[in-house]
Amino acid sequence: MSHQKFQDCIDACSECAVECSHCESECLNEQDVKMLARCIKLNHDCAAICLFAMQAMASGSEFAEKICKLCAEICTACAEECEKHAHMEHCKNCAEACRKCAVECSNMSKLSTVS
């Protein structure tokens, strides 16, 4: 199976991983880091699963569908947490990227089951 079929999802995962890594770093520079602990943890998890999902899709892994389904779940959780801090630009941008990635990963997992 060609990875080109999943290019939109790969691109969304890439953007999300970048935004989550940036958000994590920026949260660590905020005044009240303790208040952002869950956000930082979810940023870390989300970036990691996005990178893993990209690799799975690019290599045509038989587990790509399941990985992307989990990626969508983690992206949604990260978006919900970042939206609580949307007054900070980095959290706002991260939430948007996570929402987009969650949609693309959900679409990808549905697409691969139809194929």
pLDDT in tens, the chain (115 residues): 466 788 999 999 999 999 999 999 999 999 999 999 999 999 999 999 999 999 999 999 999 999 999 999 999 999 999 999 999 999 999 999 999 999 999 998 776 544 4
pLDDT of residue 108: 85
CA distances from 63 to 34, 66, 67 (A): 36, 5, 6
To the question of pTM greater than 0.85 for the whole model, the response is: yes
Provide the pLDDT for residue 110.
Answer: 75
Residue 5: predicted pLDDT? 80
pLDDT of residue 115: 41
Cβ-based neighbours of 67, under 8 Å, separated by 6 or more: 49, 52, 53, 56, 61
- The CATH number of the domain where 54 resides is what? 1.20.1270.360
Instruction: Report the domain count for the chain.
Output: 1
Domain enclosing residue 86, as ranges: 3-114
Whether 20 and 46 have beta carbons less than 8 Å apart is answered as yes
CA dihedral sign, ordered 7, 13, 14, 19: positive
pLDDT at 114: 42
